[in-house]
């Protein structure tokens, strides 16, 4: 096991250092990859594929690249790929529909490594029951593909404006 792998395992157990500090220790320059959007969601079923296709299309309209870990090829260590995407993505989208434990875990990790509220968009299909630790957070509920597209488009435009040009978004 390399020192980077050991460091990653340690951070998974204790993710309280800032995103900047973790990236610095790992020798990664910069704070994020501009335009990269990591999407965490259930992979199950056609509805999930339709939701991801809509997310991807709306991101593309804004010159953003939405990626999901299951798009990777090869036999890489999946949790490492997820951690790397969470740490390097400019924006993160979490669809809480289906109450998938991995999505909750990845959201917790994203918060733990220093992602701010303006880096994260939380979504859920209308009727989704939110767990107590997520319930106080701003979650945008959609009831159709069109409402999903509208939420994603409006939210990402605001997130881009407020994070890339903070003086304009205050």
**HEC string for 14-26:** CCCCCHHHHHHHC
DSSP 26: T
pLDDT single digits (tens) 90-127: 999 999 998 898 999 999 999 999 899 999 999 999 99
Cβ-based neighbour number of residue 23 at 10 Å: 19
**Which residue pairs from 160-166 have beta carbons closer than 8 angstroms and sit at least 24 positions apart in sequence?**
160/62, 162/118, 163/90, 163/118, 163/119
Cβ-based neighbour number of residue 105 at 10 Å: 14
Query: CA-CA distance, 130 to 124, in Å (whole number)?
Result: 9
CATH architecture of the region 33-169 = 3-Layer(aba) Sandwich (3.40)
Every domain of the chain and the residues it spans? 33-169
Per-residue pLDDT of the chain (170 residues), as tens digits, is 555 555 555 544 444 455 555 545 544 445 789 999 999 999 887 898 999 999 999 999 999 999 999 887 777 788 899 999 999 999 999 999 988 989 999 999 999 998 999 999 999 999 999 999 888 999 999 999 999 999 999 999 999 999 997 665 44
Q: Tokens 């460091």 label which residue? A: 7
């Amino acid at each position: 096991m390399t020192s980077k792998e050991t460091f990653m395992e340690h951070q998974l157990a204790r993710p309280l250092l800032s995103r900047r500090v973790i990236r610095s220790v790992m020798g990664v320059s910069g704070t994020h990859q501009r335009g990269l959007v990591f999407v965490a969601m259930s992979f199950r079923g056609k509805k999930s594929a339709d939701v991801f296709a809509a997310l991807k299309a709306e991101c593309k309209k804004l010159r953003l690249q939405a990626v999901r870990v299951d798009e990777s090829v090869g036999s890489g260590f999946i949790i490492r790929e997820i951690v790397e995407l969470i740490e390097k993505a400019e924006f993160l989208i979490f669809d809480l529909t289906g109450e998938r434990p991995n999505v909750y875990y990845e959201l917790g990790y994203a918060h733990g490594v220093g992602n701010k509220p303006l880096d994260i968009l939380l979504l859920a299909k209308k009727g989704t029951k939110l767990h107590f630790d997520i319930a106080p957070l701003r979650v945008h509920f959609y009831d159709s593909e069109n409402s999903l597209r509208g939420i994603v488009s409006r939210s990402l435009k605001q997130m881009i404006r407020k994070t890339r040009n903070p003086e304009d978004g205050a």
